[in-house]
């Protein structure tokens, strides 16, 4: 990011305080930060505090004659490499999604020719409101990028999705965005036709672990967080696809614009996938338990009776192989995932051929890696054409790159 420039638009809300840390982290990374503070944002922080951290003037007023003489709002909107809106309020999202501009922030967001990264922050009921979700879907179709929100306790005392992503995560998203072309094509802004390389396509994605119950207390599961699969679902939706996400148990909020079906067991996931088909592509990212206990009791098994000295196992349905080997209604592209701890490439290639999938995404989940539960990943894409190594990057970046590759095949 060294030598890059970012225009940081700070919306209102208690999360505006985090924008100060974000500005500081960007400065430490060598990024030049120019800022706009909205009227709502100025209720929580001051232009002076922002300017002190960025070492640049903080702009606040659309009709300030001095500011217009020094740098007009049009130039301000286009001078940076990337526009970042953090926190992005429901008001700002709604204005931009519907082409409204009545202050400096909204005017700049509509006038810019650069990509915009939104980091939303608002009350959980506001975030989940149908009108806000509709605005988010529209912005994604228009080419906007998003990071968060995350799930947690709100300043108002409620709990759920709507918290501003941690500044460190926003920095990673900015770094990923700056590593790509951030210029917004004129056609993307002017076209009224359905947009996105996957527009009109249906993509099935599985994510997360499965839990196979032994009794009402215990179960067999794995360490999958679901983060990579959720990021893939969000990336495909952002490219215009209709996405069905079949998710095992996770604590992640449903991605915006995605039809999320939550299940617990492998058999439930198999049924949900069969019901979701047909699809143009199936991206099977879930870490499905290979086995389940061959018994499930209604009462807790007591160790005093020696009930847990041996657990019989029954094989679960193979969801990836079932979908990949369908004779009727097979997706045009079936992508599997392989989490390995040794001989990653060779084991993954054997799995690809055995299952019958077109591609397989292999990653090393050995102790010490952050693949399981972390925010970053290093993967190898295997296909009939060979292998591609995608070096250490945020899972959101892996998701976008994979979605772009999928779009090349089904788009």
Residues of 56-82 as b/e, b for ≥16 C-beta within 10 angstroms? bebbbebeeeebeeeeebeebbeebbb
Residue 256's CB is within 10 A of a number of other CB atoms, namely 23
CA distance 162 to 116: 19
CA distance 209 to 39: 44
Give the H/E segment covering residue 378: strand 376-383
Q: Has 357 been annotated as catalytic? A: no
Residues of 283-318 as b/e, b for ≥16 C-beta within 10 angstroms? bbbbbbbeebbeeeeeeebeeeeeeeeeeeeeebbb
Catalytic-role residue among 85, 156, 236, 357 = 156
Residues of 346-380 as b/e, b for ≥16 C-beta within 10 angstroms? eebbebbeebbbbbbbbbbbeeeeebbeebbbbbb
* Both tokens assigned to 391: 């070096």
| Nearest C-alpha neighbor of 147 from the set 172, 126, 182 | 172
| Nearest C-alpha neighbor of 317 from the set 271, 354, 249 | 271
Q: Are 252 and 270 in contact (CB under 8 A)?
A: no
| Nearest C-alpha neighbor of 358 from the set 287, 400, 408 | 408
Q: For the chain, how are helix, strand and coil distributed in percent, rounded to 5? A: 35, 25, 40
Kindly list the catalytic residues. Answer: 156
């Amino acid at each position: 990011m060294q030598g890059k420039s970012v225009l940081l638009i700070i919306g209102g809300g208690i999360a505006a305080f985090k924008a100060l840390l974000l500005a500081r982290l960007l400065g430490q990374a060598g990024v030049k930060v120019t800022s706009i503070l909205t009227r709502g944002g100025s209720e929580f922080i001051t232009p002076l505090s922002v300017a002190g951290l960025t070492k640049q003037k903080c702009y606040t007023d659309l009709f300030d004659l001095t500011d217009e003489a020094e740098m007009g709002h049009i130039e301000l909107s286009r001078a940076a490499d990337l526009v970042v809106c953090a926190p992005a309020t429901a008001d700002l999202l709604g204005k931009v999604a519907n082409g409204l501009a009545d202050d400096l922030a909204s005017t700049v967001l509509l006038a810019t020719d650069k990509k915009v990264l939104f980091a939303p922050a608002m009350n959980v009921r506001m975030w989940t409101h149908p009108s806000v979700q509709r605005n988010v879907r529209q912005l994604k179709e228009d080419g906007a990028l998003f990071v968060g929100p995350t799930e947690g306790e709100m300043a108002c005392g409620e709990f759920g999705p709507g918290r501003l992503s941690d500044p460190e995560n926003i920095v990673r998203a900015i770094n990923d965005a700056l590593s790509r072309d951030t210029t917004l094509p004129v056609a993307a802004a002017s076209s009224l036709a359905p947009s996105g390389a996957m527009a009109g396509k249906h993509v099935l994605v599985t994510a997360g672990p499965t839990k196979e119950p032994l009794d009402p207390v215990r179960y067999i599961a794995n360490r999958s967080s679901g983060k990579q699969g959720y990021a893939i679902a969000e990336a495909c939706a952002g490219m215009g696809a209709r996405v069905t996400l079949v998710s095992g148990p996770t604590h992640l909020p449903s991605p915006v614009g995605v039809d999320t079906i939550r299940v617990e067991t492998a058999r439930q996931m198999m049924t949900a996938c069969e019901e979701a088909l047909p699809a143009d592509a199936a991206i099977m990212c879930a870490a499905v338990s290979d086995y389940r206990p061959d018994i499930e009791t209604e009462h807790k098994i007591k160790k005093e009776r020696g009930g847990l000295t041996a657990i019989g196992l029954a094989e679960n349905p193979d969801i990836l192989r079932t979908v990949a080997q369908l004779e009727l209604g097979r997706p045009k592209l079936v992508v599997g995932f392989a989490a390995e701890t040794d001989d990653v490439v060779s084991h993954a290639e054997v799995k690809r051929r055995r299952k019958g999938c077109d591609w397989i995404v292999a990653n090393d989940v050995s102790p010490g890696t952050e693949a399981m539960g972390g925010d970053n990943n290093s993967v190898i894409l295997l296909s009939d054409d060979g292998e591609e190594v995608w070096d250490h990057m945020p899972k959101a970046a892996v998701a976008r790159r994979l979605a772009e590759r999928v779009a090349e095949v089904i788009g």
